[in-house]
Amino acid sequence: MSKIALVTGASRGIGRACAVALARDGFHVWANYRSNQESADSLKAEIEGAGGQCTLVQFDVGDADAVAAALAPLEEETPASVLVNNAGITRDGLFLTMPREAWESVIQTNLGAFYNVTKPVLKGMFKAKYGRIVTMSSVSGQQGNKGQANYAASKAGLIAATKSVAQEYARKNILANVVCPGFIATDMVDGLPEKEISKQIPQRRFGKPEEVAEVVAFLSSEKCGYVNGAVINVNGGLFTG
């Protein structure tokens, strides 16, 4: 296996924590970002400062042509053995007043990206007869959430898509799993009343990006030899129905 891991949406939040954790575990990280050059440069400096390897890869995961153009030369040289599908967006609003653009942009970025990114990386894994695919869903994709019909639909779709890929390629030692974070302290939950929401969480707090990243690191490793098609909650015990 190659020691290369592609992490989408790696410049901030959970994606950044995953990139740092994988670099710590000896992976050369291909860190994808869309537009925040400053954060991407900061991540690269952090990884390399700790003795790791990081290549920044800029593309919009929702743009199939951009994904292909960016990944083709990298995959041709040395295919990635790990893929962390993390990039995602929100465009929240009640369903009746949700603009079509808000629906389509979230579905295309969150769910469409699974096809755009996973397919070219999976080809290399198939040839190598080894791979680990970890896809980031959400508690919203398990039980829905008021004001997030688009986001919940996209994240639920990721669970089903990952389970299908897990069944199709298990015999090639390609394992695909889902991680479902609950409320994690990132900019995506900025502005939410943490004190009130935490009352619903048995552990009475929001999670840390690093706590999600440790689960991703295990699922990305050779130690993960018989976990396939799983949906793993990282939510502090939050009930998901």
What DSSP element (H or E) covers 176?
strand 174-181
Q: Which helix (H) or strand (E) holds 123?
A: helix 113-128
Is the confidence at residue 66, as pLDDT, over 90? yes
The CATH number given to whatever domain includes residue 48 is 3.40.50.720
Structural domain boundaries, residue 97: 4-182+216-234
Starting at the earlier edge strand, list the strands of the sheet with 174-181.
53-58, 28-33, 4-7, 82-85, 131-136, 174-181, 231-234
If one counts every other C-beta atom within 10 angstroms of the C-beta of residue 227, the result is 15
**Is 130 an annotated catalytic residue?**
no
Please tell me the pTM assigned to this model: 0.94
Confirm whether 211 is domain-assigned: no
Residue 191 lies inside a defined structural domain of this protein: no
CB contact set of 19 (below 8 Å; sequence gap of 6+):
5, 7, 10, 29, 31, 43, 47, 54
DSSP lists the bridge partners of residue 177 as: 134
In a domain, 169, yes or no: yes
Q: Are 81 and 3 in contact (CB under 8 A)?
A: yes
239: in domain: no
Instruction: State pLDDT tens for residues 106-151.
Output: 999 999 999 999 999 999 999 999 999 999 999 999 999 999 999 9
Residue among 179, 157, 176, 156 at smallest CA distance from 166: 176
How confident is residue 241, by pLDDT bands cut at 50, 70 and 90? low
Phi, psi of 138 (to 5 degrees): -170, 160
Q: What is the number of alpha carbons within 13 Å of residue 122 lying toward its C-beta?
A: 19
pLDDT of residue 202: 87
Cβ neighbour number for residue 121 with a 10 Å cutoff: 24
Residue 224 pLDDT greater than 80, yes or no:
yes
pLDDT at 199: 81
Q: If we measure between CA atoms, which residue out of 135, 167, 175, 118 comes closest to residue 1? A: 175
Contact 111, 151 (CB under 8 A): no
Domain membership of residue 80 (yes or no) is yes
Residue 203 placed within a domain: no
41: which 2 tokens? Answer: 């440069």
- In the chain, the number of structural domains is 1
Which residue in 33, 151, 169, 226 is the catalytic one?
Answer: 151
Structural domain contains residue 199? no
**Which residue, 80, 69, 65, 73, is CA-closest to 10?**
80
Angle, in degrees to the nearest 10, between helices 13-24 and 209-219:
50
Query: Is 171 part of a structural domain of the chain?
Result: yes
How far is it, in rounded angstroms, from Cα 3 to Cα 22?
A: 10
Q: Would you give the distance in Å from CA 59 to the centre of its chain?
A: 15
At residue 121, the pLDDT reads 98
What percent of the chain is modeled with pLDDT above 70? 96
pLDDT reported for residue 159:
98
Helix (H, G, I), strand (E, B) or coil at 22: helix
